[in-house]
Amino acid sequence: MAIPGFGEIAEQLRRSTFLVHSGGRGSGSGVIWSSDGLLVTNAHVVRSARPAVQLWDGREFEAVIHSRDPLHDLARLHINATNLPAASAADSSQLRAGELVIAIGNPLGFVGALATGVIHGVGPLRGLGSHSWVQAEVRLAPGNSGGPLANARGQIVGINTMVAGRLALAIPSNTVRGFLSASPSDGRLGVTVHPALIPRPASRARTFGLVILEVDAESPAALASLLPGDILLGTEEKSFTSLEDLAGALQGNGPRLLRLEFLRGDYTRIRRVTVQLGSPVAARSSVAA
């Protein structure tokens, strides 16, 4: 079934989508949220303090990171520009299975690539915490992260974030609104982690841990000498039971110290490290923090 004005809708979405270059490790996408230079993308897309942003018309800007949310994998950027073609957002709570959706992004170097599909569902997914996801049967590829998922009227219903099996997962637009209206936190660790159950030699029980896969250069984690392969167990006050616990431990503002417990090689010996938090730029994540 043809949708009246679909070409114009797709073109407007392209103009509201931007390309992000950050950290020299590929590129991602993002959405122009307001005409005065407010931009939204995934936290894991922006890996440097001053990411480079390229708009649809070819203009390039150095963006300022205003805030990041490691828990929901969102980042708020700002560029010095006005009269931008901002997208409009829909109420994601009104989404229903079977609705047509459009994804715009920059996968594998193809700028402004479009994919269409249908909503599969909205809600939490097993293994990904209690957060709600917009789940759509849309083909995404590396470079789509941070870009818009829109309804047939071109209104944003989610920010594309990852692929799980055959489904594209997007952060609901209502979650994005909540992030933008919340007080920012400067909590940053600068690691990519993966949850795992760790065997403990002293018992048959397994302990929840967050395995560090990557450590960003010059991040608080790097300055504290944390390494890939280390396993974060918790703080001195509380053991981690989910990714949300790490994100919660990083919340706050201003210079402060966080005491972490972790394993390195020997599972019988718990190590401790003090991390300095409170730098002006907050770090990555979803599976990053």
- The residue extents of the domains of the chain are 6-78, 92-181, 191-277
Quick one: average pLDDT of 57-63? Answer: 94
Question: How far is Cα 61 from Cα 42, in angstroms, rounded to an integer?
Answer: 18
Q: Which of 22, 67, 72, 73 is catalytic?
A: 73
- The pLDDT, as a whole number, for residue 24 is 60
The CATH number of the structural domain formed by 191-277 is 2.30.42.10
Question: How far is Cα 219 from Cα 232, in angstroms, rounded to an integer?
Answer: 16
73 is catalytic: yes
195-223 pLDDT, tens digit each: 888 887 766 678 889 999 888 888 899 99
Q: Which of 16, 22, 27, 44 is catalytic?
A: 44
145 is catalytic: yes
Question: How far is Cα 248 from Cα 228, in angstroms, rounded to an integer?
Answer: 22
Buried b (16+ CB within 10 A) or exposed e, 5-31: eeeebbbbbbbbbbbbbbbeebbbbbb
The CA angle 151-164-106, to the nearest 5 degrees, is: 55
97-114 pLDDT, tens digit each: 999 999 999 887 788 889
Q: Which of 16, 29, 145, 173 is catalytic?
A: 145
CATH of 92-181, one of 3.40.630.10, 2.40.10.10, 1.10.1200.10, 1.20.140.10: 2.40.10.10
Q: What is the architecture, at CATH level 2, of domain 6-78?
A: Beta Barrel (2.40)
- The pLDDT, as a whole number, for residue 183 is 64
Write the Ramachandran bin of 130: left for phi over 0, alpha for psi from -120 to 50, otherwise beta: alpha
Model-level pTM? 0.70
